[in-house]
């Protein structure tokens, strides 16, 4: 694909109605211009390139045939909504995509009236669509409800639950299965297309119902004939209709259809629009369509960093390895020594750093699809039989398995190790993916041990600690950032459970810092030392259990404390410190909690997100100056 072309038609499309007067040939030109636009813009900002290149024709067809926002388009996850944003008046904002205060990389209701559903987790679209369809019917409206869901998202339990409900209720609702797996069988040819047209025709449906009714009216043999006809119909359907599973659930199935053949796609969606009741349109697309590097490697181009258009080479900052990479390499090292170790991930082998592990131990790596609940209980089953499962999962996605963590793992006190990636702020993915809640939702569960390293070297020791821990579930959380570039110790050693370490001495105040907040604490302490204030900096590496001996020592010294964590303030680590002092009747302790305030933090860079919520050296210095009595502030 060449960049820098003129958007002859795209420059004149500002709202969906601008598409409706175009010919099919012009719509195909718009598709080409959108692909060029996306490749050019995302080369600077980064973003979900491959998924959006795959849905260009599909999104154009939806906006061409239907009437957003009266008709509701629900994009599962929402990361494939860039084309939708372009066609609904946001094209001029793409230079700010995923930037602070800029265009969101997901569907966002506050951005546009055309964004009717927002999500950053998968498999929610069908449930939402069913809710909107029922609401429409109760209000006696007649708008369309269209859910676009990927084949990967159908592995999520919510999607299957919703399919069951939709098929039972028989409401008018269109589901578009955006199938971009290369292994899916090709179109079965003209006969299949013909059957699809017949089955979507209202006259055919009515005629079939009338024939069955008349057969049942024939005395004595009518019922038998009707049952025989039904069996014959089902047998025929099983032979030639690939979507029979959806048919059995109560859907009319159309497809597969080439999602890049715009005329065929338009015709199929027109047929689907005639169907009474739920209809599923099976659309075959190719991720990365139109940009050869993304087509060749859609996995790495799913969420791309900035890149050079001509070469397709991604531009990545040079520096220490990310925590994710350190995790993956260390787990291989540990697994070579311990055959009990198996790795589990819910459809994130690359993002969780497990590709090398999968190649090294193919029989000990399990990608269960987008099924976090199953992944958690599957891990519990493995642990119950003496294996050591390491469940690698993003903090935001672990939320989806909370019930299973409580009931199937912690209540049974099973030896499951959690490797919680993306803990803390996640940058451009924003509010739907922030990993700032896991401290609060895990530390309240009995039997759970929770820790976070100060650097990538300590992460390695924590992983060894986790796989050797045999007293129940244990979790290590780590951020979506590069490590600090510290030397790596050899050999690995275990860390005594519930122990903290003093990184800097001080007699006037103390900071209990967690994970990536430690450098902030050390810098603030250094600045205050120049004012004669000695601030002790403590690596509070165990969030649960805490180092009670050290907490008691701080109380004996009557040191004012600040807790600093990249997690929500409510119910977080700082709350745990207050709870401990309350349990010990130490009510005179001066404790200031610094955590994420009670609102959703939007997308931007991690430094911008930290600055927004006050995780700055300047604020920390100010808070410490307010806490430390003046007699201790030696000029």
pLDDT tens digits for 349-361?
A: 999 999 999 999 9
Q: Over the Cα atoms of the chain, what is R_g?
A: 28
Per-residue pLDDT band at 5 (split at 50, 70, 90): low
Burial class (CB in 10 A: 0-12, 13-18, 19+), 448: buried
Q: Which two tokens stand for residue 21?
A: 């007067």
* Per-residue pLDDT at 317: 76
The mean per-residue pLDDT over the stretch 104-129 comes to 95
Tell me the mean pLDDT in the region 469-498: 96
Residue 412 CB-density burial (10 A; 0-12 exposed, 13-18 middle, 19+ buried): middle
Kindly report the three-state secondary structure assignment for every residue of 98-137.
CCCCCCCCCCCCCCCCCCCCCCCCCCCHHHHHHHHHHHHH
- Is the pLDDT at 198 greater than 50, yes or no? no
Each residue's pLDDT tens digit, 16-44: 999 999 999 999 999 999 999 999 999 99
Which residues is 365 bridged to in the sheet?
343
Residue 238 has pLDDT above 50, yes or no: no
Residue 203 reports pLDDT greater than 60: no
The helix or strand, by DSSP H or E, that contains position 375, with its residue range, turns out to be: helix 372-384
pTM value is 0.88
pLDDT at residue 224, as a whole number: 54
Residue percentage of the chain with pLDDT more than 70: 88
Phi, psi values for residue 505, rounded to 5°: -75, 160
Please tell me the distance from the alpha carbon of residue 210 to that of residue 169, in angstroms, as a whole number.
22
Residues 6+ apart with CB under 8 A from 439: 450, 477, 514, 543, 565, 567, 568, 571, 572, 573
Q: What is the pLDDT of residues 428-466, one digit of tens each?
A: 999 999 999 999 999 999 999 999 999 999 999 999 999
d(CA 589, CA 80): 50
pLDDT at residue 154 tops 60: yes
351 and 394 in contact (C-beta within 8 Å)? Answer: yes
Q: Rounded to whole angstroms, how far apart are CA atoms 31 and 77? A: 22
Cα dist from 201 to 270, 280, 586, whole Å:
11, 14, 76
Q: Per residue in 521-532, pLDDT tens?
A: 999 999 999 999
Of 41, 144, 287, 480, catalytic: 287
Using alpha carbons, select from 105, 119, 61, 124 the residue that is nearest to residue 87.
61
Start-to-end C-alpha separation, the chain: 66
Residue 452: both structure tokens together: 């976070």
The 10s digit of each residue's pLDDT in 91-112 is: 999 999 999 999 999 999 999 9
Picking from 30, 176, 45, 179, the residue whose alpha carbon sits closest to that of residue 105 is: 45
Question: Looking at 28, 33, 372, 602, which residue is catalytic?
Answer: 372
CA atoms of 556 and 581, how far apart (whole Å): 12
Of 198-207, 307-316, 496-505, 590-599, the range with the lowest mean pLDDT is 198-207
CA–CA separation, 5 vs 430, rounded Å?
Answer: 32
What's the gap between Cα 475 and its chain centre? 19
Dist. CA 225–CA 231, nearest whole Å: 10
Q: Which residues pair with 167 in a beta bridge?
A: none
- Residues 415-428 have a mean pLDDT of 97
Per the annotation, the verdict on 400 as an active-site residue is yes
Strand partners, 254: 281
Give dist(CA 6, CA 218) in Å, integer: 68
pLDDT band at 481 (very low <50, low <70, confident <90, very high): very high
Q: Give the pLDDT confidence score for residue 245 in this predicted structure.
A: 83
What CA–CA distance (Å, rounded) separates 265 from 258? 7
pLDDT at residue 221 greater than cutoff 90: no
CB contact burial 32-51 (16+ within 10 A = b; e otherwise): bbbbbbbbbbbbebbbbbbb
Cα–Cα dist 163/76, whole Å:
14
Nearest-angstrom CA–CA distance, 533 and 356 = 48
pLDDT on residue 218: 54
Identify the three-state secondary structure at position 147: strand
Predicted confidence at residue 151, as pLDDT, reads 87
Calculate the average pLDDT of the chain. Answer: 90
Structure confidence at residue 299 (pLDDT):
84
pLDDT range class, residue 239, cuts 50, 70, 90: very low
| Percentage above 90 pLDDT, the chain | 82
Give the pLDDT mean for 527-540: 97
Q: Is 98 left (phi over 0), alpha (psi -120 to 50) or beta?
A: left
Mean pLDDT (whole number) for 309-313: 93
More confident residue, 317 or 602: 602
- Largest alpha-carbon pair distance within the chain? 107
Q: Which helix (H) or strand (E) holds 166?
A: helix 157-169
- Dihedral Cα 178, 180, 184, 189, nearest 10 deg: 60
| 287 is known as an active-site residue | yes
Across 144-170, average pLDDT: 93
Residue 51 host element (H or E): helix 49-54
| Residue burial 320-331, b: 16+ Cβ < 10 Å; e: rest | eebbbebbbbbb
544 is known as an active-site residue: no
Looking at residue 336, the DSSP 8-state letter turns out to be H
pLDDT at 213: 53
Q: The tokens of 625 are what?
A: 């100056």
Enumerate the β-bridge partners of residue 449: 474
pLDDT at 608 > cutoff 80: yes
- Read off the pLDDT of each residue in 606-631 and give the average, rounded to a whole number: 92
Give the pLDDT of residue 632. Answer: 52
Q: Which of the following is catalytic: 136, 171, 400, 541?
A: 400
> How far is residue 204's CA from residue 200's CA, in Å, rounded to a whole number?
8
pLDDT value at 498 more than 80: yes
Contacts of 147 (CB under 8 A, 6+ apart): 74, 76, 125, 126, 128, 129, 173, 174, 175, 176
Q: Which of 64-68, 106-110, 316-320, 504-508 has the lowest mean pLDDT?
A: 316-320
């Amino acid at each position: 694909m060449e960049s820098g072309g003129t958007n002859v038609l795209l420059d004149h499309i500002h709202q969906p109605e601008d598409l409706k007067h175009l010919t099919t040939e012009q719509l195909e030109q718009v598709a080409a211009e959108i692909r060029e636009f996306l490749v050019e813009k995302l080369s600077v900002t980064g973003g979900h390139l491959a998924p959006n290149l795959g849905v260009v024709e599909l999104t154009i067809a939806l906006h061409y045939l239907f009437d957003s926002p009266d008709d509701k388009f629900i994009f599962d996850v929402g990361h494939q909504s860039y084309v939708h944003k372009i066609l609904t008046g946001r094209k001029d904002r793409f230079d700010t995509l995923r930037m602070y205060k800029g265009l969101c990389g997901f569907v966002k209701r506050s951005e546009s009236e055309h964004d009717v559903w927002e999500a950053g987790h998968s498999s929610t679209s069908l449930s939402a669509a069913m809710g909107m369809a029922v609401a429409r019917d109760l209000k006696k409206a007649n708008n369309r409800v269209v859910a676009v869901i990927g084949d990967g998202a159908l592995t999520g339990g919510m999607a299957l639950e919703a399919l069951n409900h939709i098929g039972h209720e028989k409401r008018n609702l269109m589901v578009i299965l955006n199938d971009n797996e290369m292994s899916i069988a090709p179109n079965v040819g003209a006969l299949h297309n013909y059957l699809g047209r017949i089955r979507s025709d209202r006259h055919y449906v009515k005629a079939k119902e009338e024939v069955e009714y008349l057969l049942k009216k024939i005395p004595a043999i009518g019922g038998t004939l009707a049952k025989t006809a039904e069996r014959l119909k089902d047998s025929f359907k099983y032979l030639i209709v690939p979507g029979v599973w959806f048919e059995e659930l109560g859907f009319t199935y159309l497809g597969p259809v080439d999602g890049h053949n715009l005329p065929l796609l338009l015709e199929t969606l027109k047929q689907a629009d005639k169907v009474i009741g739920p209809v599923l349109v099976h659309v075959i697309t190719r991720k990365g369509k139109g940009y050869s590097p993304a087509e060749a490697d859609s996995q790495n181009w799913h969420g791309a960093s900035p890149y050079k258009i001509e070469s397709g080479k991604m531009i990545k900052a040079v520096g220490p390895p990310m925590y994710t990479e350190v995790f993956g390499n260390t787990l291989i090292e540990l697994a070579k020594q311990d055959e009990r170790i198996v790795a589990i991930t819910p459809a994130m082998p690359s993002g969780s750093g497990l590709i090398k592990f999968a190649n090294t131990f193919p029989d000990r790596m399990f990608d269960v699809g987008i099924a976090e609940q199953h992944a958690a209980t599957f891990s519990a089953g493995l642990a119950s039989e003496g294996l050591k499962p390491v469940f690698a999962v993003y903090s935001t996605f672990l939320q989806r398995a909370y019930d299973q963590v409580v009931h199937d793992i912690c209540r049974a006190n099973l030896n499951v190790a959690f490797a919680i990636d993306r803990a803390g702020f996640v940058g451009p993915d924003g509010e739907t993916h922030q990993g700032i809640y896991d401290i609060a939702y895990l530390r309240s569960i009995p039997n759970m041990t929770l820790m976070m390293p100060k650097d990538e070297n300590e992460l390695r020791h924590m992983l060894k600690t986790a796989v050797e821990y045999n007293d129940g579930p244990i979790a290590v959380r780590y951020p979506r950032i590069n490590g600090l570039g510290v030397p790596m110790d050899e050999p690995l050693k275990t860390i005594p459970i519930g122990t903290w370490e003093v990184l800097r001495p001080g007699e006037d105040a103390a900071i209990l810092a967690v994970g990536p907040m430690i450098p902030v604490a050390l810098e603030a302490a250094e600045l205050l030392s120049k004012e004669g204030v000695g601030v002790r900096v403590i690596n509070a590496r165990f969030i649960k259990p805490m180092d009670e001996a050290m907490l008691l020592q701080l109380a004996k010294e009557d040191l004012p404390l600040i807790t600093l964590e990249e997690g929500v303030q409510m119910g977080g680590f700082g709350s745990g410190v207050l709870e401990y002092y309350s349990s010990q009747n130490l009510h005179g302790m001066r404790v200031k909690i610094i955590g994420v305030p009670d609102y959703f933090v939007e997308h931007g860079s991690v430094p911008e997100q930290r600055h927004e919520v006050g995780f700055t050296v300047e604020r920390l210095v100010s808070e410490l100056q307010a806490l430390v009595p003046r007699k201790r502030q030696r000029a």
